Amino acid sequence: MMKTQTKSIIAAVLILLLLAAIWGLEQVLPASSIVFTVLRKGAIYSLIAVSLNLLNGFTGLFSLGQAGFMLVGAYTYAILTIPAEMRDSVYMYYDGGIIDFALPVPVALLLAGVVAGLFGFLIGLPVLRLKSDYLAIATLGFAEIIRALVQFDGFGPVTNGSNVLRSFPVFHSTLFPFIVSGLCIAVICLLINSSYGRAFKAIRDDEVAAEAMGINLFKHKEMALVTSAFFAGIGGALLAMFQMMVQARAFTSAMTYEILLIVVIGGIGSVTGSIIASFLFIACSEWWLRFLDAPMVIGGFSVPFLRPGFRMVVFSVIIMFVVLFYRKGIMGDREFSIERIYQFFRRRFGKTGKEAETHE
């Protein structure tokens, strides 16, 4: 066993090392390298996946509304930060829109979360009374309603209707999404480990028992939903920054499914699982499996099946395997911690007689 203090120090050192490594990479590699695409998108998806996991994994609320919250966050951020002088060209079908100010990036990011959280709160009022699959389908429905509202022509002067929003400030360093996502995930972790978090888990494990213990079901569920929406909103804003543009029609239920699959691969109820799965998912889909899409000829022999689209087929087959045969995902509901690695290595290398016994 390690002392808490030692653990925090190691964690801090690791995080600093990670950030330094990213900084180092940015100095060495060209800015357009695929590595940065993977790292940035991976960091953003980590945050979104963890926010969904908070609902699905820790509170047991099967929600499929994440794309809607991301949409709200992304749009809030974009609408509030487009510089006034660019508005005429962005809102070209709506005479420059009705907003003529631009907020600083951190404020807009925070507001993206707040507005998304507000939507979460309002949606929670009716839907949290529903259970399991009905809840899932109702949240999915709300996500679609949000998408329709944003695309509505009448709101065009604010939302630009269903047209693209662009020209808002974006980040140029990979450190930015890492730091923002990292902070957000840290807050989620604190929440999970607080008494609220224990209440969430109690609700997940047995609603009736939790209620009998005096946990206010509705209040806690609402809290989980609002928190999840808040961070999904920030994630959406980061995604908009990453893409340098945002359009409502991209935030379909297919996007939620993708995030849900990430959570499942990582392990429902594991924060680190979601993070690892996010990076794996993005790295595979953007980078490592790309070769499957290109026709390949080895020694005059054309490799069968390889053509555009094959990557996604292989990918979905892998996902089905995980879902069917490896239902716990990469991490199950455990966490990847320094403690665990320490124990692992101690068992391996620093074994004393006593520990060798426990090691079967």
Partner 1 sequence: MDNLTYYIQQLLTGLTVGGQYALIAIGYTMVYGILRLINFAHGDIFMAAGFFMVYMSATMPLYVSLPLTLLLTVILGVAVERIAYKPLRQAPRMSIMISAIGVSYLLQNFATYYTGGLPRPYPKIPLIGDVIVIGNVTTSWITILTPILTLALVIGLVMLIKYTKVGMAMRAVSRDFETAQLMGIKINNVISMTFVIGSFLAAVASVLFFSKYPTVTPTIGAMPGLKAFVAAVFGGIGSVPGAVVGAFVIGICENIIKAMGYTTFSDAFTFVLLILVLIFKPTGLFGEKSTEKV
Partner 2 sequence: MKKFLALVMTLAMVLAIGAGCGGGGDTQQGGTQTGDKVVKVGIFEPASGENGAGGKQEVLGIRYANSLQPTVNIGGEEYTVELVEVDNQSDTTKAVTAAQSLASSGVSVVLGSYGSGVSIAAGDTFKTAQIPAIGISCTNPQVTQGNEYYFRVCFLDPFQGTVMANFAKDEMKADTAFVITQLGDDYSSGLGAYFKQAFTDLGGTVLEAQFQTGETDFNAILTNALNSDADVIFAPSSIQTAPLLIQQARQMGITMPILAGDTWENESIINNAGQYATDVYLSTFFDENDTSNPAAADFVTGFKAWLNADPQNLTNNGDSDGVAAVSALGFDAYNVALAALEAAGSTAGPDIQAALPGVTYDNGVTGSISFNENGDANKDMAYIKTINVETGAFDFLKTQSIAD
Candidates 8, 14, 95, 198: give the one binding partner 2 (CB under 8 A).
Answer: 14
Candidates 85, 88, 95, 133: give the one binding partner 1 (CB under 8 A).
Answer: 133
Candidates 315, 336, 339, 343: give the one binding partner 1 (CB under 8 A).
Answer: 315
Q: Answer yes or no whether residue 188 interacts with partner 1 by CB under 8 A.
A: no
Instruction: Check the CA dihedral 97-103-104-105 and report its sign.
Output: negative
**Dihedral class, residue 337 (left if φ above 0, else alpha if ψ from -120 to 50, else beta):** beta
Candidates 198, 290, 307, 351: give the one binding partner 1 (CB under 8 A).
Answer: 307
**Which two structure tokens, joined as six digits, stand for 284?**
């595979």
Q: Answer yes or no whether residue 347 interacts with partner 2 by CB under 8 A.
A: no
Nearest to 307 by CA among 284, 290, 332, 328: 290
Which 95-114 positions form the footprint of partner 2 (CB under 8 A)? Answer: none
Q: Answer yes or no whether residue 173 interacts with partner 2 by CB under 8 A.
A: no
Which 64-123 positions form the footprint of partner 1 (CB under 8 A)? Answer: none
CB of 297 or CB of 324, closer to partner 2: 297
Which range binds partner 1 by CB under 8 A, 33-41, 192-200, 314-322, 351-359?
314-322
Question: Cα(37)–Cα(47) distance, rounded to whole angstroms?
Answer: 16
Q: Answer yes or no whether residue 14 interacts with partner 1 by CB under 8 A.
A: no
Q: Answer yes or no whether residue 132 interacts with partner 1 by CB under 8 A.
A: yes
Which range binds partner 2 by CB under 8 A, 48-56, 104-112, 137-145, 162-170?
162-170
Candidates 244, 318, 320, 323: give the one binding partner 2 (CB under 8 A).
Answer: 244
CB of 191 or CB of 306, closer to partner 1: 306
Q: Which does 261 bind (CB under 5 to 8 A by kind): partner 2, partner 1, none?
A: partner 1
* 58, 201 Cβ separation under 8 angstroms: yes
Minimum distance of partner 1 from residue 131's CB (angstroms): 7
Candidates 122, 190, 294, 356: give the one binding partner 2 (CB under 8 A).
Answer: 294
Candidates 245, 284, 289, 319: give the one binding partner 2 (CB under 8 A).
Answer: 245
| Residue numbers at the binding site for partner 2 (CB under 8 A) | 6, 10, 13-14, 17-18, 21, 24-25, 28-35, 37, 86, 89, 92-93, 151, 153, 161-164, 166-167, 170, 172, 243-245, 247-250, 286-288, 290-291, 294, 296-297, 308-309, 338, 341-342, 345, 350
| Residue numbers at the binding site for partner 1 (CB under 8 A) | 56, 62, 126-127, 129-134, 136-138, 140-142, 144-145, 147-149, 151-153, 162, 207-208, 252-254, 257-258, 260-261, 264, 268, 307-310, 312-313, 315-317, 319-320, 323-324, 327
